[in-house]
């Protein structure tokens, strides 16, 4: 018999962008500009027509990852006496 499991892990990472513009921007415009910038520290993206510059400042990685295991019955861990 084969057993099949799914292991999921997620956390919240925070990416920071600095957007400079000569005019006021909408939330959609800010998001669009940020999403066009490469996600490498110090990367920039410019839209010369709108005179907007975006700089990717970096990523703060979440340290509070959550996990979930699902699927078939799980064997008890003798050392930790985990549930089946």
Per the domain annotation, does 1 fall within a domain? no
Statement: the pTM of the whole predicted model exceeds 0.85: no
Number of folded domains that form the chain = 1
* Residue 24 belongs to domain spanning: 9-63
Per the domain annotation, does 71 fall within a domain? no
Per the domain annotation, does 56 fall within a domain? yes
Per the domain annotation, does 75 fall within a domain? no
DSSP the chain: ----EEEEEE---EEEEEEEESS---HHHHHHHHHTS-SSTT-EEEETTTTEEEEEEEEE--S--EEEEEESPPPP-TTTT---
Tens digits of per-residue pLDDT, 7-61? Answer: 998 899 999 999 999 999 999 999 999 999 999 999 999 999 999 999 999 999 9
Per the domain annotation, does 76 fall within a domain? no
Per the domain annotation, does 58 fall within a domain? yes
Per the domain annotation, does 74 fall within a domain? no
Per the domain annotation, does 4 fall within a domain? no
């Amino acid at each position: 018999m084969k057993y099949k499991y799914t292991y999921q892990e997620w956390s919240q990472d925070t990416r920071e962008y600095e957007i400079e513009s000569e005019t006021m921007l909408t939330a959609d415009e800010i998001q669009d500009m940020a999403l066009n910038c490469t996600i490498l520290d110090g990367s920039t993206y410019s839209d010369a027509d709108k005179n907007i510059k975006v700089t990717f400042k970096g990523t703060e990685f979440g340290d509070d990852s959550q996990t979930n295991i699902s699927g078939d019955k799980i064997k008890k861990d003798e050392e930790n006496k985990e549930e089946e």
